[in-house]
Amino acid sequence: MADSAGSQSGSRKAPLSRELVLSTALALVDAEGLDALTMRRLGQELDRDPMSLYRYAANRAALLDGVSELVLDELAIFPDDPDWQAQLRKIAHDLRLLALRHPNVVPLLVTRPLSTPLGLRPLGTLRPLEQILALLIEAGFSPAAALHVYRAYYGFLCGHILNELQEYIVDPEENEAILRLGLHRLPAKSFPHLRALGPVLADYDGAAELDQGLAILLSGLAGQLSIGQRESPS
């Protein structure tokens, strides 16, 4: 018998479950990146035959969807908050922190919906949309206006997170080195401004910039609310 790794000395291993599979997958992605999440590797991590995973996810794509869902489940939204702007700000910062906590999952979050029609996505990934719509409608926006506000808000939010993560470098020791090395590599002639910004690029206060952008956007969107209220029937 091939009782390979640790586990119980007895014949039985811990029972598998979708939750266990997904959380192990997430841990693996967090630790070693998306590419490390292969069926074989995950099976090994769970001390099971890779094929057993197909009981809990129809295929690798579904597994990735599951991981997305699991991460988004960490996001708490309160659609009943009477201060919708404050709530949107809170959600934004929460999502930002979530992204920083699971940077390797962000490509998934942002990419998977591109290949799945809205209606067929995992429910967990649609929950934020639904709840933010609820929040906005509660705040007085018409459903259609709520959708537009959502799009502007969520688009901006995703964009910010992507942007920030693109400049983010894991090891702050190496940061300076790689940054300088990289920037030095740029032809001075065609990239003068970028090269000159080296030091400024190095300290990026993502939370502050997110706040600034949100302030602009939310106040603009709030303006549409008061206009809409004055003219349109509720």
Partner DNA sequence: GATACATTCTCTACGCTGTAGACTTTATGC
Partner DNA sequence: GCATAAAGTCTACAGCGTAGAGAATGTATC
17 or 116: whose CB is closer to a second copy?
116
- Closest listed residue to residue 43, CA positions, set 71, 70, 65, 63: 63
Contacting residue, 127, 140, 207, 228, with a second copy by CB under 8 A: 127
Helices (H) and strands (E) in the chain, counts: 11, 0
Residue 187 as a binder of a second copy (CB under 8 A): the answer is yes
Of 6-14, 69-77, 161-169, 226-234: span binding a second copy (CB under 8 A): 161-169
21 or 87: whose CB is closer to a second copy?
87
Residue 85 as a binder of a second copy (CB under 8 A): the answer is no
- Closest listed residue to residue 77, CA positions, set 67, 88, 85, 69: 88
Residues 65-84 that bind a second copy (CB under 8 A): none
42 or 214: whose CB is closer to DNA?
42
User: Given the structure tokens 């029609």, which residue do they identify?
Assistant: 117
Residue 207 as a binder of a second copy (CB under 8 A): the answer is no
* Residues 41, 63 contacting (CB under 8 angstroms): no
Residue 98 as a binder of a second copy (CB under 8 A): the answer is no
* Residues 70, 62 contacting (CB under 8 angstroms): no
Q: How far apart are CA 59 and CA 73, in angstroms?
A: 21
Residue 227 as a binder of a second copy (CB under 8 A): the answer is no
What 227-232 contacts at long range (C-beta under 8 Å, 24+ apart), as own/partner pairs, is 228/141, 228/142, 228/145, 229/140, 232/142
Binding site for DNA (CB under 7 A): 2, 11-13, 15-16, 37-41, 43, 48-52, 54-55, 59-61
Q: How far apart are CA 163 and CA 88, in angstroms?
A: 19
The count of chain residues that interact with a second copy, using the rule CB under 8 A, is: 67
Sign of the Cα torsion 105, 111, 115, 121 reads positive
Q: Which are the contacts of 175, defined by CB distance < 8 A and separation ≥ 6?
A: 169, 202
Contacting residue, 29, 46, 146, 225, with a second copy by CB under 8 A: 146
Of 2-10, 24-32, 90-98, 146-154: span binding a second copy (CB under 8 A): 146-154
- Closest listed residue to residue 100, CA positions, set 171, 154, 168: 168
The entry of DNA, a second copy, none that residue 60 binds, CB within 5 to 8 Å by partner kind:
DNA
The nearest distance, CB 225 to a second copy, in angstroms, is: 13
* Interface residue list for a second copy (CB under 8 A): 103, 106-107, 110-111, 113-114, 117-120, 123, 126-127, 129-130, 133-134, 137, 143-144, 146-148, 151-152, 154-160, 162-163, 165-167, 169, 178-187, 190-194, 196-197, 200-201, 209, 212-213, 215-217, 219-221
